[in-house]
Structure 1
Amino acid sequence: MQRVFLHIGLPKTGTSYLQSIVWPQRDRLAELGVLVPGREKRDHLLSSLIVRGDPAVARRGPGADRAWAVVCAEVAAHAGTSLVSHEFFCSASAEQWARAVADLAPAEVHVVVTAREPLGLFSSSWQESLKNRSTTALADYGRSESDDPRVVWDWRALDLGLVLGRLRDAVPDERVHVVVSPGPGDPRDELWRRFAGVLGVDPEAVPHERAFPNASMGVVEAELLRRLNAHLGEFHSARERARWIRTFLADGLLVTPDAERFWPDDDQVADARQRGERALDVIGAGRYDVVGDLARLRVPDDLPARRHPADVTEAELLAASVRLNGQLMGEVRRRSDAGERHRRTPAPSSARRAYTRLMRRVGRGDSG
C-alpha cells in the first residue's frame, strides 16, 4: 500500500532532532522500505512554503517552486511508505490541507504531530523567533492567533488543538498520530523510538546515537540576542539568518550548558495552561492514535520559580556581551589563520578548483 507520513511539527517538539536522524540515514531508511523524497533536505521546507501559499519560495533560488511537485511525484512512484518532515506544515489552513492530501493521492496520507506541554513550547518558540531576528519582547509574544498560514511563530502553529482542528476534514482522526514528547526520566532516544514505531521501523535498525536535541539559551543570552537583532539588519535572507544568526551566533556561541531557564508573564502561563487543557479535550473527543502519556501535554499546577527576561539587569547583559565579543575575536582569529594556512599550501589546479567550488557552495548555504 502507498502511504505517506507527513510529520508537521509542532515547532520546538524535537523536529530538528528527528530530522538529524532521518536525513543522514536516508539510504538506510530506503533499505527498510521508507522513502524520504526530494532532491535535498530543504525540499521539505520549500514544500511547506508552497503548500501554505508563501510567495517567499520564489526567493529561494532556481527550482525552489517545484519542490512540492518533485516530492509528490516521488511519493507517487514509490510503492511503499514515504516520509515528509517539516514543522512549518502545521500552519496550513483547512483548505490547504485538503489540496495537499489531493496532491498526494492515491497515497494514503497519515499525519504525525509531535507535541509537548504548551508552556515549555511557548518559551522555546520565543527563543526560536529570536534566532530568526525577531526583536519582540517575551511579554508581547504570542498575544494572538493569526489567520495567515504563512505565520509560524504564533499560537496558530503552537496550539495543538487548533492544528488538529484544521486537519480534521482532510485526514481521518485515526490516521493522525500524536507523538508526545518524552519526559526527564525517559531515555535520550525515546522520541526517536516513538517516531520510528509510528513509521513501522525498528528504531535500532537506524543509527541514531550521534543525534542530540537542540540546546537552549539562558534568560540573559536570549535577552542579549533580542537586543542584538535590532543591529543585524544586513542579514536579509532566510538562509543568511539561518547560517549566521541561528547556527553561528545563537547555537554556536550563546547556548551554554548552564543556561538559566525562564517563564513568561503570569497571564501567558495561564493562557498556555488553558490551551493545553483544550487540546486534551480535542484529543479525548476524537479517535487519534496517541503515542506516549497524554498527561505530559498538561502544564503542571506547581511550577518552579524562574526569572522573566525583563528581570535581566544591564550589568548581566554587559558581562554577557563582553564574553560574546571575546568569543567572536577568537573565531575571527581561527578563521583568519585557517585561510592563511590554505593560501600558503600549494595545491594542484584540479584540487584548487574543487576547493573553490566547495567554498562557493558553503557561501550559498547549500546542503550536501
Structure 2
Amino acid sequence: MTGKVFLHIGLPKTGTTYLQKALWLNKGVLGDAGLLLPGRHQRRHLLASLDILGHSTLSERPGDTDSPWDDLVTESRAWPGDVLITHEFFGSASRRQVRRAVGSFPDAEVHVIVTARAMLDLGISRWQEWVRNGGRKPIDDYPPRKRYDPADEWGWASFDLADVLARWGSVVPHERIHVLPMTPGGPDPTELLTRLLTVVGHAGVAVEMPQQKVNTSLGIVETELLRRINPLLTGFTAPTDRGTWIRGFLAGPQIMATSGERFRPDAETIEELTTRGEQALAMLRTGEYDVVGDLALLEQPDVSDRRHPSEVSDAEQLDSAVRVIAALMVQVRTLTRQRNALRKEMEASGSRVSVARFARGVASKVRKDSPT
C-alpha cells in the first residue's frame, strides 16, 4: 500500500525543468530509497497532467494517450513506499479536477509541492516563454486569454500562485501544501532540489546532479525578434512543432544566442502582477501553508531600470536577425552533410535512404542539443 503521495504541480518557470531532469536522472536510486517516480519515462507525467485537465490535444500527442493518469495511479497504488508525480501543468487544475487527482489515492496521505517565485518576475518570464512557443502578442497583452480555463497552459490559472493555492487548498489540507520560494539564476541550483527532497523525506539520498544548463531565457532583443517571426511560421501549429522547431531549434542557444538583457512590462501590467503577488504573500503569511525557504524571495523586484520591449530598435533586431541567419546556414550545412553521409551509407549497403529515419534523427539532435 502506498505511503505518501507528493504532487509537484509547478509553478512553471520555477526550476521545474531542472528538478524533473534531476529526479528522473536519479529515478533508480530514489526508488531504491523508497520513493517512486511512476511511469516508464518523464513524458508520462506530462500526459497524465493533460489527462487530468481534460486537454483536447492529449490524443494528438505522441505515445500512449489512452489513460496516462490512471496508468500512473495503478503503478503508484502497488508501490509500498512514497510516490512523487511532477509536472507544472497540474497547477491549473480546477477544483473538480483537483478532487479527481487527490481522490485517486483514497488510502494515501496526499501532499502538494509548489515551487514559486515573485509574481512580477514570473509574469515577465511566462510571456518570454510563450513567445518561444509561438506567441505573437506584446508583453502587455499577456496572458493571451483572460478567462479561467484549466486547459490553458498559458493563462492566469497556470501561474497565479494565490489562485493555485485557493483551488488546491480547497481539497488538500493547507499544512500539506508545501511552498518552495525560489529565485532563478541563484548561485546554487542544487539547493532547490535539496529542499524538495527534504519535503518528500529523502534528503539523505546521494543523487547525481544534471550538468547541462536547462531553460536558458531569451533577452529583450531576441524575444521581440522572435515575436515578429512567429506570425510567419503558419504551419507550426501542433504542440510538438512549436516545442521542437520554434522553442527547441530556432529559439535555442545554437541559433538564437541570448543577450540576457532583462525587461519589464508597462505600469498597468506591473500593478496587476504586483497585486496578484501580494495576494499570495498574504495567504502564505498566515502560517497555514508550509513555506520551505525564504518567503522574502516572493516579494516583487524593482524593475524600473529595465527597458520595455517596445523600446527595442529595428537596428537591434536586424543585428540579431543577421546572426540568426548565419547560425541557420551553419546548421543547414551540418544537416546536409549528415544526410549525404547517410545516403552514401545506405547506397553502400544496397539499401534505400529512409527519409523518415533521417527526419527522426534531425528531431532527436534538436532535442539533444537544446536545453529543455
* TM-score (structure 2 length as normaliser): 0.90
Q: Write out per-residue CA displacement over residues 123-171 of structure 1, whole angstroms, 9 at most, x where no aligned residue.
A: 1100111122110111211376432111121222211111000012211
Which residue is equivalent to 1:314?
A: 314
Which residue is equivalent to 1:148?
A: 149
Q: Secondary structure at the match of 1:200?
A: coil
Contact 1:17–1:211 (Cα < 8 Å) also in 2: no
Partners of 1:145 and 1:340 in 2: how far apart?
A: 49
* Letter matched to residue 133 of structure 1: G
TM-aligned CA distance change 1:346 to 1:60, over 3 Å:
closer
Q: Which consecutive unaligned segments of at least 5 residues does structure 2 have?
A: none
Which residue is equivalent to 1:32?
A: 33
Contact 1:192–1:203 (Cα < 8 Å) also in 2: no
Q: How much has 1:54 moved relative to structure 2?
A: 1.2
Contact 1:216–1:255 (Cα < 8 Å) also in 2: no
Contact 2:249–2:255 (Cα < 8 Å) also in 1: no
TM-aligned CA distance change 1:59 to 1:247, over 3 Å:
same
Partners of 2:25 and 2:348 in 1: how far apart?
A: 31
Q: Which consecutive unaligned segments of at least 5 residues does structure 1 have?
A: none
Q: Could you tell which deviates more after superposition, 209-218 or 329-338?
A: 209-218
Contact 1:15–1:86 (Cα < 8 Å) also in 2: yes
Q: How much has 1:181 moved relative to structure 2?
A: 0.6
Which residue is equivalent to 2:241?
A: 240
Which residue is equivalent to 2:303?
A: 303
Aligned length: 367
Partners of 2:172 and 2:261 in 1: how far apart?
A: 40
* Letter matched to residue 341 of structure 1: A
Partners of 1:44 and 1:137 in 2: how far apart?
A: 31
Matches within 5 A, 1:274-313: 274-300=275-301, 302-313=302-313
* Letter matched to residue 318 of structure 2: L
Contact 1:217–1:254 (Cα < 8 Å) also in 2: no
Q: How much has 1:286 moved relative to structure 2?
A: 4.8
Which residue is equivalent to 2:128?
A: 127
Q: Secondary structure at the match of 1:114?
A: strand
Contact 1:40–1:367 (Cα < 8 Å) also in 2: no
Which residue is equivalent to 2:328?
A: 328
TM-aligned CA distance change 1:144 to 1:59, over 3 Å:
closer
Which residue is equivalent to 1:100?
A: 101
* Letter matched to residue 124 of structure 2: S
Which residue is equivalent to 1:86?
A: 87
For the pair 1:73 / 2:71, whether they are aligned, the reply is: no
Q: How much has 1:60 moved relative to structure 2?
A: 1.7
Partners of 1:309 and 1:363 in 2: how far apart?
A: 31
Q: How much has 1:344 moved relative to structure 2?
A: 3.0
Contact 1:173–1:286 (Cα < 8 Å) also in 2: no
Q: How much has 1:211 moved relative to structure 2?
A: 4.7
TM-aligned CA distance change 1:240 to 1:278, over 3 Å:
same
**Considering only aligned residues, what root-mean-square deviation do their CA atoms show, in Å?**
2.8
Partners of 1:2 and 1:280 in 2: how far apart?
A: 31
Matches within 5 A, 1:193-272: 193-202=194-203, 205-253=206-254, 256=257, 258-272=259-273
Partners of 2:97 and 2:305 in 1: how far apart?
A: 42
Q: Secondary structure at the match of 1:251?
A: coil
Percent of aligned pairs with the same amino acid: 41
Partners of 2:298 and 2:10 in 1: how far apart?
A: 15
Q: Secondary structure at the match of 1:261?
A: coil
TM-aligned CA distance change 1:183 to 1:69, over 3 Å:
closer
* TM-score (structure 1 length as normaliser): 0.91
Q: Write out per-residue CA displacement over residues 262-303 of structure 1, whole angstroms, 9 at most, x where no aligned residue.
A: 011111112222111110111123521111110110103x43
TM-aligned CA distance change 1:211 to 1:28, over 3 Å:
farther
